Amino acid sequence: MTHQEFVAAHQAGRLTVHVDPKAAAKLVSSRMMLPLILLPVFGLAVATALAGYLIAGALLFVAALAFRYAVRRSSRGFVLTRALEDARFYEQVFAAGVLSYSRDSS
């Protein structure tokens, strides 16, 4: 199915789209370079706590964890939205098995 057919069928409600949550989270995390962002933040949180600002360090650590959780939790919606907007991205996620669909029998 081409991208144009996919978008038209999705908008018409003729498709049930499935986005693999684990694969989507991994894809979004890698595209955002999430580990490269979070590792320094976690290090800064630990350093802040060790420097005597325990509450500030703990809050920074929890904020980084919450950010990671939010990114991973919203990754399915991101993948579907991006696949509807970008034909090249649609082809990539479909080929990787992150996105799949089934035709509704109506």
| Phi and psi torsions of 100, nearest 5° | -145, 165
Does residue 10 lie in a domain region?
no
Asked if 78 and 24 count as a contact pair (C-beta separation under 8 A), the reply is: yes
Count of the separate structural domains present in the chain:
1
Spatial separation of the C-alpha atoms in residues 63 and 28, rounded to whole Å = 19
Confidence of residue 41 (pLDDT cuts 50, 70, 90): very high
Question: pLDDT-based confidence at 103, cuts 50/70/90?
Answer: confident
Residue 2 lies in a domain: no
Reported confidence tier of residue 48, pLDDT bands at 50, 70, 90? very high
Question: Does residue 55 form part of some domain?
Answer: yes
Does 5 map to a domain? no
Q: Which domain holds residue 83?
A: 15-101
Domain membership flag for residue 90:
yes
Residues 6+ apart with CB under 8 A from 23: 96, 97, 98
Specify if 19 maps to a domain. yes
- Per the domain annotation, does 79 fall within a domain? yes
**Does the pLDDT value for residue 106 go beyond 60?**
no
Alpha helix locations (H) across the chain? Answer: 3-12, 21-31, 34-50, 54-73, 75-85, 87-96
Q: Is the residue at 8 inside a domain?
A: no
| Whole-number pLDDT of residue 55 | 96
